């Protein structure tokens, strides 16, 4: 028998209103008791008595057993979530930055106070990837998880490659449609998918990785030359977060533009849609596809979490609790395309094994191997306007890296 969920809702923006639209008129054994908002002067269609600017009216209300947190401010969201969990209230959140940044502490709070935090809506909108990683893949050996996690940047890239639209025009259109923020750097700079990748990696591999340890380079420096190069090779460029197992115990993570071939699942993921590819040892390659932006798709994921709470569902963090000995590393080389203006860029990034090089007065690029560690150390260089980097999809290893992996695997056998 299900428990009635009595909700205190923080935030009534795009997702909050989308959630309200979905639950309105349905008999779901849940009720919104109070909604906390920031701007009391804004005209709203619901009863004014439903709204408040006082957080305590929700957090200290004994009638409310579930807090649904849908605000933009990550630090404020954390304080709300922490206070709610300590008081024994369940929490549903879609704030990927808050969860990625504070996940280890949030897991401890759930264990200590017996409340549940669910956040399916924080990663890839309507795609139920977190629940699948928790339940379907709980005993699987995952080789990798990657995909398109950000609808805003994918919308822009789709317009560029499918309609020959200029980057700035595509960005403006995405903003007008509500897919991208006024300051779009969280999306196009790869920060949003980095937070989502950190959360997904926790459930895929049991690793709680600080977002600061994950390289993110976005598409904001994409030029006509980069686009022309991709077209000549019959590629599309997609912004792809990746978590990959490179040895028995080592996991690498990064967010980079990637040249995607026509036989890749991600090639046909367009506009605001997201796609997630999971490569497993036994289930092999599987693909999840759905809308990753918009009030109703994300609202549907939030509702799924709320509905699960009616039956006492909680994440068990199975991979984390298995203590499987996996470690996060940047000890790998990846093959990349780098467009640059000055030779010191190639020297500083220590590009090796160059397989292709082109140079003219206004366009230079190389394709070669770069250490992920070096890329992380030179993030400021990678975001300069004259530099664009994209992963070719290939990995390379130095002799030292190979010996390290051999030694690691030998130690496991012994």
CATH number for the domain harbouring residue 120? 3.40.50.720
Strands 250-260 and 215-216: parallel
Residue by residue, DSSP assigns 52-99 as ES-THHHHT-TT--EEEE--S-HHHHHHHHHHHHHTT-EEEE--HHHH
Q: Answer whether residue 55 is part of any domain.
A: yes
143 belongs to a structural domain:
no
How does pLDDT run along the chain (414 residues), one tens digit per residue?
578 999 999 999 889 999 999 998 788 889 999 999 998 888 888 889 999 999 999 999 999 999 999 999 999 999 999 999 999 999 999 999 999 999 999 999 999 999 999 999 999 988 999 999 999 998 888 999 999 999 999 999 999 999 999 999 999 998 888 777 778 999 999 999 999 999 999 999 999 999 999 999 999 999 999 999 999 999 999 999 999 999 889 999 999 999 999 999 999 999 999 999 999 998 899 999 999 877 888 999 999 999 999 999 999 999 999 888 899 999 999 999 999 999 999 999 999 999 999 999 999 999 999 999 999 999 999 999 999 999 999 987 665 666 666 666 555 545
36 and 88 share one domain: yes
For the chain, give the longest Cα–Cα distance. 71
Q: Are 254 and 242 a contacting pair, CB within 8 Å?
A: yes
Q: Residue 342 has what DSSP assignment?
A: S
Q: What is the pTM of this model?
A: 0.94
Whether residue 368 lies inside any domain: the answer is: yes
Residues 21 and 86 grouped into a single domain: yes
User: Considering the domain boundaries, does residue 251 fall inside one?
Assistant: no
Q: Does residue 113 sit in the same domain as residue 43?
A: yes
State the CB neighbour count (10 A cutoff) for residue 117. 22
Which domain, by its residues, includes 106? 5-129+296-321
Q: Is residue 379 part of a domain?
A: yes
What is the number of domains present in the chain? Answer: 2
Residue 382 lies in a domain: yes
pLDDT at position 268 is 97
Q: First CA to last CA across the chain, in angstroms?
A: 51
Say yes or no: 305 and 334 in one domain: no
Q: Residue 260 pairs with which residues in a beta bridge?
A: 236
d(CA 248, CA 252): 12
User: Does residue 304 sit in the same domain as residue 354?
Assistant: no
Q: Which two tokens stand for residue 381?
A: 């260089």
66 domain residue, yes or no = yes
Tell whether 401 and 301 lie within a shared domain.
Answer: no
DSSP state of 4: P
Strand partners, 61: none
Instruction: Determine how β-strand 5-10 pairs with β-strand 30-36.
Output: parallel
Q: Which helix (H) or strand (E) holds 258?
A: strand 250-260
Task: Supply the pLDDT for residue 399.
Answer: 58
Pair (302, 362) in one structural domain = no
In a domain, 283, yes or no: no
């Amino acid at each position: 028998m299900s428990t009635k969920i009595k909700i205190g809702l923080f935030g009534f923006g795009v997702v909050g209103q989308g959630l309200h639209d979905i639950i309105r008129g349905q008999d779901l054994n849940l009720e919104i008791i109070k909604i906390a908002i920031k701007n009391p002067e804004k005209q709203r269609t619901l009863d004014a008595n439903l709204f408040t600017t006082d957080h305590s009216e929700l957090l200290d209300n004994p009638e409310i057993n579930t807090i649904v947190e849908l605000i933009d401010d990550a630090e404020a969201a954390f304080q709300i979530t922490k206070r709610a969990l300590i008081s024994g209230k369940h929490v549903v959140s879609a704030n990927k930055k808050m969860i990625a940044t504070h996940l280890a502490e949030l897991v401890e709070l759930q264990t200590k106070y017996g409340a549940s935090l669910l956040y399916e809506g924080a990663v890839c909108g309507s795609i139920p990837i977190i629940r699948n990683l928790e339940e379907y893949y709980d005993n699987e050996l995952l080789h990798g998880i990657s995909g398109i996690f950000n609808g805003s940047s994918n919308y822009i890239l789709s317009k560029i490659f499918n309609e020959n639209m200029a980057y700035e025009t595509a960005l403006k259109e995405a903003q007008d449609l509500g897919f991208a923020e006024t300051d779009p750097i969280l999306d196009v700079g790869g920060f949003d998918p980095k937070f989502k990748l950190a959360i997904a990696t926790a459930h895929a591999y049991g690793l709680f990785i600080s977002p600061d340890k994950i390289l993110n380079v976005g598409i904001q420096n994409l030029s006509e030359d980069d686009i022309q190069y991709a077209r000549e090779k019959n590629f599309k460029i997609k912004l792809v977060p990746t978590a990959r197992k490179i040895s028995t115990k080592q996991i690498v993570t990064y967010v980079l533009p990637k040249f995607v071939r026509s036989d890749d699942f991600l090639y046909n993921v367009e506009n605001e849609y997201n796609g997630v590819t999971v490569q497993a040892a036994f289930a092999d390659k599987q693909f999840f596809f759905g809308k990753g932006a918009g009030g109703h798709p994300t609202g549907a994921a939030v509702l799924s979490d709320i509905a699960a709470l009616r039956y006492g569902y909680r994440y068990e963090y199975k991979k984390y609790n298995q203590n499987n000995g996996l470690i996060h590393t940047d000890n790998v080389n990846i093959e990349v395309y780098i467009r640059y203006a000055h030779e010191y860029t190639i020297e500083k990034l220590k590009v090796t094994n160059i397989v292709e090089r082109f140079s003219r007065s206004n366009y230079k690029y190389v394709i070669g191997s770069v250490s992920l560690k070096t890329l992380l150390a030179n993030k400021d260089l990678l975001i300069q306007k004259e530099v664009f980097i994209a992963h070719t999809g290939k990995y390379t290893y130095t002799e030292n890296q190979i010996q390290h992996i051999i030694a690691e695997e030998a130690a496991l056998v012994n």
